[in-house]
Amino acid sequence: MEVVRVEGLGKTYPGGTKALEDVSFSIEKGEIFCLLGRNGAGKTTLLRILATQLRPTRGRASVLGHDVLANPKAIRPHIAVVPQEARPQMLLSPFDHVFYMCLMRGLSRAEAHTRTKKAMEDLGL
């Protein structure tokens, strides 16, 4: 099963910078995919398009069979992105970090509690 499909993708920022031009690839389920490129090559732009945070200007991209432009809400509950800028909130415990993320994703408090406990146990925290 193809979990990511990118076809002829392009992104030109409003200022005129061409960040992506005619990018095509696909990623199969279970595959570990590493995208390398020098600073400014367009990696973050591509990732933000796949995470439905940024609109492409050309081409198509889909995640889990859903088009990023047509159906972003079908994609968001199933993906996780850890950007390089992510920082822990120092006043929150590891439990609280996971717990609040579960709540933000729409889980009930009870479900969030169960899921968080499981994550803490799995990681030995």
List contacts with ligand ADP (CB under 6 A).
13, 15, 17, 19, 37, 39-45
Residues in contact with Mg ion, total (CB under 5 A)?
2
- Nearest approach, Cβ of 57 to ligand ADP (angstroms)? 12
Binding part of the chain for Mg ion, among 15-23, 44-52, 65-73, 103-111 by CB under 5 A, reads: 44-52
- Nearest approach, Cβ of 28 to ligand ADP (angstroms)? 23
C-alpha span between 46 and 58 (Å, rounded): 12
Query: Which is closer to ligand ADP, CB of 13 or CB of 33?
Result: 13
Query: Which is closer to Mg ion, CB of 12 or CB of 44?
Result: 44
C-alpha span between 57 and 113 (Å, rounded): 41
Amino acid occupying residue 120: M
Tell me which of Mg ion, ligand ADP, none is bound by residue 19, counting a contact when its beta carbon lies within the kind-specific cut-off of 5 to 8 angstroms: ligand ADP
Cα 38 to chain centroid, rounded: 20
Beta strands in 13-114 (DSSP E): 18-28, 58-63, 66-67
C-alpha span between 110 and 32 (Å, rounded): 33
Cα 41 to chain centroid, rounded: 18
Q: List, in order, residues 6 or more apart from 107 with CB less than 8 Å away.
A: 115
Interface with Mg ion, residue 51, by CB under 5 A: no
Query: Which is closer to ligand ADP, CB of 47 or CB of 120?
Result: 47
Where on the chain is the footprint of Mg ion (CB under 5 A)? 43-44
